[in-house]
A and B are shown apart, each in its own frame.
Chain A
Amino acid sequence: NAGVTQTPKFRILKIGQSMTLQCTQDMNHNYMYWYRQDPGMGLKLIYYSVGAGITDKGEVPNGYNVSRSTTEDFPLRLELAAPSQTSVYFCASSPGQGTDTQYFGPGTRLTVL
């Protein structure tokens, strides 16, 4: 199993540009998450999904959109990039039962200039 994979690893955007961060998991997990981590800070939840077709907002959803058309994929969309979105983005998945744990991807480092 590859676990949770994310692409790209690095990206530089100009203000106002759009992009999609890709996240794929091969563990057949129901739950998937997007977090962001600003320099020197803890992780903050952006969006999460409890299954295909079901998504919900986390703590910091503004400026982002998500979709979940399959169990495996959970892309994060930035429509109008702003410097405040400069961050490291982590995708995670979990089976979604009881006290199970979350498995994280390696992250995407995004810079908006």
Chain B
Amino acid sequence: DAKTTQPTSMDCAEGRAANLPCNHSTISGNEYVYWYRQIHSQGPQYIIHGLKNNETNEMASLIITEDRKSSTLILPHATLRDTAVYYCIVRVVNAGNMLTFGGGTRLMVKP
């Protein structure tokens, strides 16, 4: 799986959009971009994933650049409960569905 680079930490004001970047410059054509988050002491939670096109669900939006070398997770209206570590993961389809977790970005949503 391709390596990802994320900022160690970010702050966001409550009610504002949180934009979390991820670099994956060595991504290959069959690798998907996944985002998970981990709220303190809990198990990781799936957020969203995509291959080429931008994706949106009830939790977030995922913007993938045209060259696929980077992506941005957008939480449109961050709340205090969105404070968590966010993991950007790039993985090959059908590789046993294994996820390789890096350090992630610690997002702090402040009132």
Contacts and interface: CB of A to CB of B under 8 A. Distances in A.
Interface stretch (B17-25, B44-52, B60-68): B44-52
Given A102-B46, A103-B46, A43 B97 contact: no
Contacts, number: 55
Interface residues of A, number: 29
Interface residues of B, number: 22
Contact of B96 (A31, A43, A101): A31
Contacts of B101: 35, 42-44
Nearest to B34: A101
A69 to B, nearest CB: 20
A43 B98 CA distance: 11
Interface string A77-113: 0000000000010101010101111111111000000
Given A99-B32, A101-B46, A103-B46, A42 B93 contact: no
Given A41-B103, A42-B103, A104 B97 contact: no
Contacts of B49: 99, 101
